[in-house]
Chain A
Amino acid sequence: MLRRFRLEEPETVQEASQLLARHGEAARIYAGGTELLLVMKEGLAHYERLVNVKKIPHLDEVKLTDGFVSIGALSTHRQLLFSPVVRRHLPAFAGMEANVANIRVREVGTIGGNLCFAEPHADPGTLLLALGAKVIAAKNTGQREILIEKFFVDAYETCLEPDELLTEIRVPRLPARSGVAYLKFGYLERPSVGVALFLSLDGNGKSVGDARIAVGCVGPTARRIQEAESLLEGKSVDEASRLIAEAGAAAARASQAISDLHGSQDYKEHIVGVLLKRAFRQAVEQCRQRVEG
């Protein structure tokens, strides 16, 4: 049962920030509610006030700028799946969105709500890590840009200050000769393991330029695994594909996997390696298509 709360409906980011500042821990942002209302119904959390930010204009826009794709925090999963900008410039992101939870959650849940709730078993954060995204946090007095690596602090915890709102996600546009894959595995509604890989090839298309590897769902937060990335960077594609099992093992070790209802630590670590291998093949294929195309 959902306990009583008061609803605030600010129409600007400033008003929302002021409400958060005034009410502190007793208030929480409502941006879709697909996760927040579940914990409130279960009695795991109670807030005296919910601050519905859906009346603030323009927060659900998706735009292409010179350097990046700008995603408004109030965009629903379903909007992002169908956004022409996302489909064209970040096809892996659209693919990930097509498989978040179920159709009803995708219709209502927002990307900003998803990231701010910081549920460990979520897809978008992991992929955004591999995409090198940044988020914009706004408050009454201004705004700041945060690297997504710094954003997730712990399970259900972000680095947002009490009076800050996440307003926008900035995803760098993909360079030529690059590929991105996000693969997940799980037999419950929420994924047990998520692995994301961004790969770019150098000028002649023969060797790996940048690699970004992220693992999510297995432990408290999604994380970049630089040990695994550095195994691949600068290597020829053949060499990198020989090293991918080693990179998978490094990613698994550094992923902070824990045993829980979604599987044992060993099991999750094994799946990390399997998914990274598959993600590598997909990403290389995309790199080559983009070279040839």
Chain B
Amino acid sequence: MMASLMSKPRGAQTIPVSFIVNGKAYELEVEPHELLLDVIRDRLGLTGAKRSCDVEVCGACTLLLDGRPVSACTLPAFEARGRQVQTIEGLAENGKLHPLQQAFIEHGGFQCGFCTPGMILAAKAMLEENPDPTEEQIKHFMHGNICRCTGYKKIIESILAAAKKMRAPLSAKRKS
């Protein structure tokens, strides 16, 4: 029963989607109603982004689309046509954690981890437009990412620490 419900009916519309996920090119056919979160998790096997509130409130499904945070739980996959998708799996480079990932571990921002991929991706988008945020600016940008395990103090400290580290090579360059 389930299989027949899930299979594609004859004559269903498909849309070709070419996109780059974590630097790798993919070409898929999606139906209009397929959500980006399902395509990324079920077809690409990238399960870092989580389905949680399912109503764009909690941020656990956050992905970056052309560098900007979106709720993948409510975004049709066709919206990714021709665009760059970043998931948490693509953040570490050559086996080295991204400064945000490292800071979340070192400063206790990483708790159960369900919200962490979304937190880190949202923070990355924020730091790209504002490399030196105040605590207030972090709170404002991040208020749509909810952590149900603990408070936000350690998360904010982690982001501040990562921001400082990420600025360091910039200021070193400026000095030289």
Residues in chain A within 8 A of chain B (CB atoms)? 2-7, 33-34, 37-38, 41, 50, 78, 98, 101-105, 107-108, 189
Among residues of A, the one whose C-beta sits closest to the C-beta of B13 is A6
**Quick one: given A4-B31, A5-B32, are A33 and B13 in contact (CB under 8 Å)?**
no
Q: In the complex, A108→B54 CA distance in Å?
A: 16
Instruction: Among B12, B31, B141, B144, point to the contact of A105 (Cβ < 8 A).
Output: B144
Q: Are A37 and B32 in contact (CB under 8 A)?
A: no
Instruction: Among B9, B15, B78, B144, point to the contact of A104 (Cβ < 8 A).
Output: B144
Distance between B31 CB and nearest chain A CB, rounded to angstroms: 7
Residues in chain B within 8 A of chain A (CB atoms)? 9, 12-13, 15, 31-35, 54-57, 59, 62, 65, 68-71, 74-76, 78, 122, 125, 140-145
| A-B contact sample (9 more), CB < 8 A, given A4-B33, A5-B33, A102-B144 | A7-B15, A34-B71, A38-B55, A38-B56, A103-B122, A104-B144, A105-B56, A108-B71, A189-B57
Instruction: Among A4, A6, A50, A107, point to the contact of B68 (Cβ < 8 A).
Output: A107
Q: In the complex, A4→B140 CA distance in Å?
A: 36
Q: In the complex, A260→B127 CA distance in Å?
A: 38
**Quick one: given A41-B54, A101-B144, A108-B75, are A7 and B35 in contact (CB under 8 Å)?**
no
Distance between A167 CB and nearest chain B CB, rounded to angstroms: 21
Q: Are B62 and A104 in contact (CB under 8 A)?
A: yes
Distance between B76 CB and nearest chain A CB, rounded to angstroms: 7
Chain A residues closer than 8 Å to B35, beta-carbon distance? 2
Instruction: Among B32, B54, B55, B68, point to the contact of A7 (Cβ < 8 A).
Output: B32
Q: Which of A3, A6, A7, A103 has the most CB of B within 10 A?
A: A103
Among residues of B, the one whose C-beta sits closest to the C-beta of A109 is B56
**25 CB < 8 A contacts A-B:** A2-B34, A4-B9, A4-B33, A5-B32, A5-B33, A7-B15, A7-B32, A7-B78, A33-B74, A33-B75, A34-B71, A38-B56, A38-B74, A41-B74, A102-B143, A102-B144, A103-B141, A104-B56, A104-B59, A104-B69, A104-B71, A104-B144, A108-B70, A108-B71, A189-B57
Q: Are B56 and A34 in contact (CB under 8 A)?
A: yes
**Quick one: given A2-B35, A7-B13, A102-B57, are A33 and B71 in contact (CB under 8 Å)?**
no
Q: In the complex, A107→B12 CA distance in Å?
A: 30
The 6 nearest A-B residue pairs measured at CB: A102-B144, A7-B32, A2-B33, A104-B71, A107-B68, A37-B74
